[in-house]
Amino acid sequence: MEDSGGDGTAMRDSKTYCVTGGSGFIGSWLIKSLLRRGYGVHATVRHPEKALHLLKLSERLKLFKADLQEEGSFDEAIRSCDGVFHVAASMEFGVEPNHNIDSYVQENVIDPAAKGTINVLKSCLKANSVKRVIFTSSISTMTAKDSSGKWRPVVDESCNIPTEHVWHTKPSGWVYALSKVFTEKAAIRFANENGIDLVSIITPTVAGPFLTPTVPSSIRMLLSLITGDVKLLPILAAVNSRMGSIALVHIEDICSAHIFLMENARAEGRYMCCTHNCSISELIAQLSQEYPVPTTHSLMMEKHDSQPPVISSKKLRDLGYSFKYSVQDIIHDTLQSCKQQGFLSHTQYSDDCLHRW
């Protein structure tokens, strides 16, 4: 049982934090990171029976059943907690076409997502003990293009994507992007109106080792350059088209940043958390060092002649945070974990690719 101080940290002063979405990629690793630091953890999941493997991490972990659409279902889990990491979110990237798709998305994806976050924040108000909420946002809420469509030299926390543009163009992954935009806005508005200290962390493409029984969607999207996944490769292309590159962070770094922002009294507002952003050619080169990337899978990716905009984590670094893992580490750890899980060996490649592997 991995009960204490995996990083040598002494037991903390009996603080307990709640992690929503505990069975997900970030949620499960965040639980592990908190337990390593000696904290108690209350983790919420929709199906506790599917998350029992997490209980092996520590006796200081408690699982709670909760549903974002049920007001009050987070009360028990959040009660007596010092802080809440709201990680749980819908992973809807698209919907089936219908005669009124905009209304459908608003009523069946965006509104429920915002309502779910408000339900969590209402439980925080009831608890009285919660000092801060860390909201897990997404780089899907950002764009590297200015109002005239030109590339910005630097992308920071202020570079929000115009929602009307997303509604109009409906790029790949547009449903997820709008869901995150409106959910974060609703969370910030509710927090400001009710005196909740809420800090938002903007996550790029997260990769590395994982505790989930299946390969996380962010990793499958990243590796779509290899697998040619017909649903996720267009989304990766859309991200590249919007940001001019692919921003990356290691799972351990993103979780450490969550905890850093929870613990730092000076933290406020939004924080980009990106180790490095790679051009498509750089990303392909990094992947190719450890696994062959079929040329045909990268042809659809939009290329840019100029240097891609810098996706900056200056605000986070200036607060004192340091990233531990490089891009090379991210790619290596991701491919090793997928290899161990048999993910890559079950996808279809050319005979040449399989022979090289």
Query: Which position among 56, 122, 180, 314 bears the catalytic label?
Result: 180
The Cα–Cα gap between 259 and 115 comes to 25
- Angle of CA points 89, 93, 97, to nearest 5°: 130
Cα–Cα distance for residue pair 184/142, rounded to 1 Å? 12
Q: For helices 174-194 and 111-127, what crossing angle results, to 10°? A: 30
Q: How far apart are CA 75 and CA 126, in angstroms?
A: 7
94 and 217 in contact (C-beta within 8 Å)?
A: no
**Residue owning tokens 């893992």:** 325
Question: Residues 22, 31: contact at Cβ < 8 Å?
Answer: yes
Please tell me the distance from the alpha carbon of residue 351 to that of residue 357, in angstroms, as a whole number.
10
Question: Rounded CA gap, 167 and 83, in Å?
Answer: 35
**Does 180 qualify as catalytic in the annotation?**
yes
Report which DSSP code applies to 299: T
**Is residue 291 a contact partner of residue 254, using CB atoms and an 8 Å limit?**
no
Alpha-carbon distance of 155 to 239, in angstroms, equals: 14
Separation CA 199–CA 78 (nearest Å): 17
Instruction: Give the C-alpha separation, 111 to 356, whole Å.
Output: 48
Secondary structure E strands in 224-332: 246-250, 269-272, 276-278, 310-311
Reduced to 3 states (helix: H, G, I; strand: E, B; else coil), residue 85 is: strand
The structure tokens 């115009």 sit at 162
Active-site positions? 180
